[in-house]
Amino acid sequence: MHGVNSISTNPDERAALLQRLVAPVLAELEQTEAVLARQLSSRYGFIQTLVRHIERFRGKRLRPALLLLSARAFGGEAPLATEVAALVEMIHLATLCHDDILDDAATRRSVPTVNAEWGNKAAVMTGDILFSRAFEVLGGLDDARPYKQLSHTARLICEGELLQIASRFNAGLTEEDYFDLIDKKTAQLFGAATELGALLAGASEADGKKLFLYGQRLGMAFQIVDDCLDLMGVETTVGKSLGSDLKNGEPTLPLIHLLAHAETATKLDLLRLFTPGNPNLTRENLRPHLERSGAVEYALKVAHDEIQRARDEIAFLPESASKEVLHDLPHYVLARES
């Protein structure tokens, strides 16, 4: 297998690539960072400590960057954009925080997260305060569109997370189910970010909708690649622990494709493997099957197609540095497998 299996870009190179890409909105991203720092502060010491701890999730700020680039692509002034970009990131951070909640079994593994250090309840409340603070600030804006859009998106994200829990060890999960799940869990917030960026810069509703589709498709591709990496990536290269989808019994696109197209004997083997608590359910044991079946190539092809469709959605934009970045950003998403 080419692709995921033979990752060449390391995390530093990827970070540098992203840094180059977001250059047109670097100043706004710094302002967003300042808004975020202000929102994550509290006069209560304990709350400050917990909320600050979520800085461990300090990521690529991909969603704020997408929002700001989308605004810039429409040229106009977008005074609310940096603030809304920070709030989008807060919602994302809140979901990461709740994603960290461990179930009884997992608790014993003792991961160094908020919940491991201060108990599950503190982790829940930290996520809650990020969520509620984001909605509070959104509610205070003069423009009602961001809170309408993002409170809708937040509900879809929760629904996606619940669908994911419901999908555990469901070997019958269809591609359609999976696409619905990752759309809600991931792609909708990408789409909300790019749509809001456009609208805040004065885009028409119709153009906003196109930017939504751009972000949504990019988000789908992003999640599919992420799921491929969880099965096939090299931990040191990807820069995070992998295989957790499999451990949790969450079927992702390669596995769904593999199960749907395996011969009866192989399929029975796989079904025996894909059971809760089975110590043989490892990436290593699954990999030969995945390689033989071309399931990962299939999944990456789907991601590539989504990205092509994303690019088609923004073809109408006038030429600009920002449009170019929106066109090139998918490189970053796919860099992890190029």
Residues at the contact surface with a copy of itself, assessed by CB under 8 A:
42, 44-47, 50, 98, 101-104, 107, 118-122, 124-129, 131-133, 135-136, 138-140, 144, 147-148, 151-152, 154-155, 157-159, 161-163, 165-166
Give 105 or 265: the residue with its C-beta nearer to a copy of itself.
Answer: 105
C-alpha angle with apex 19: 14 to 23, nearest 5 degrees? 150
Closest distance of CB 160 from a copy of itself, Å: 10
Compute the Cα dihedral for 133, 135, 140, 145 and give only its sign: positive
Per the CB < 8 A criterion, the answer to whether 81 and 68 are in contact is: yes
Give 250 or 313: the residue with its C-beta nearer to a copy of itself.
Answer: 250
Which of 285, 312, 138, 295 lies closest to 213 in space, CA to CA? Answer: 312
Q: What are phi and psi of 75, to 5 degrees?
A: 75, -40
Give 58 or 109: the residue with its C-beta nearer to a copy of itself.
Answer: 109
Give 43 or 288: the residue with its C-beta nearer to a copy of itself.
Answer: 43
194/63 Cα distance (integer angstroms): 8
Closest distance of CB 181 from a copy of itself, Å: 10
Closest distance of CB 121 from a copy of itself, Å: 5
Tokens of 136: 């509070």
78/193 Cα distance (integer angstroms): 13
Closest distance of CB 137 from a copy of itself, Å: 8
Closest distance of CB 131 from a copy of itself, Å: 7
Give 184 or 210: the residue with its C-beta nearer to a copy of itself.
Answer: 184
Tokens of 7: 């990752």
